Amino acid sequence: MDPIQEAIEYIESRRAGDKFSYRQVAKIFGVDRTTLSRRHRGAQQPQGTEAAEHRRNLNPQQEDELIGYIEGTTRDGVPPTRSVLRNFGSAVAQYEVSDSWVTRFQHRHPDELITKWDTSMDRERHLADNKRKYELYFNLLHSKMREHRIEERNTYNIDKKGFFVGIAHRRKRIFSKAVYESKEQGDDWHGGAVFYSPRKLASVRARKAAELDEAPELQLQKARDKERKAAEAAEKKRS
């Protein structure tokens, strides 16, 4: 059987309401995620879809590539705004797309995309974000530690968050749903970027380890499905 079709049947065999990840299923069956996603969604589309395809600004393959782009930028901490996504769509389509196209694009991919407000950095933080100012800060810090004879083991990190009225602003960004939901509850997204700490890194590693533990169970389920299908096929031949 075609591996893509086998993966689709595995998805369809799940109970209604069960969540699944196209990426994880694609990894199990050794197929391309975007191809699996497109084929599975295509199998669920109503009649008249072909006519609708011609009215799209981007074809399905281009939209899958755009979803991959959004996933990559979300992982990098800079998910696109609606205007950035519109510009990207215009570049691919080679003509100006409307703002409503962005809305329709999101509605066509509710399982892959999610819109959220970011928590923007204030202007002072942006201005302070350069190598020279970091060097000046740590040089001053170490000089004060030497002056007051403070040992490194007696230093602590204190993270205080705040905002200035009229300086900070928020923007809507389009995130990869899978990447956004995988972030730890309580993480701060400033302009899309997550600020990590050793505790959060340990949590991510633990989550990855749990996913690896679940992989054998999924492989076992795959083997059981194959055995069931083989038994059904043999039963049909006998009848």
Angle made by CA atoms 103, 109, 113, in degrees to the nearest 5: 80
Q: How is residue 104 written in tokens?
A: 């329709």
Task: Identify whether the C-beta of residue 8 lies closer than 8 Å to the C-beta of residue 36.
Answer: yes
Mean pLDDT of 196-201: 53
The pLDDT of residue 113 is: 92
Burial bucket for residue 231 (CB in 10 Å: 0-12, 13-18, 19+): exposed
Which of the pair, 202 or 72, is modelled with greater confidence?
72
Residue 203: CB partners within 8 Å, gap ≥ 6? 184
Angle made by CA atoms 12, 16, 17, in degrees to the nearest 5: 120
Mean pLDDT of 209-219: 70
For residue 166, pLDDT beyond 50: no
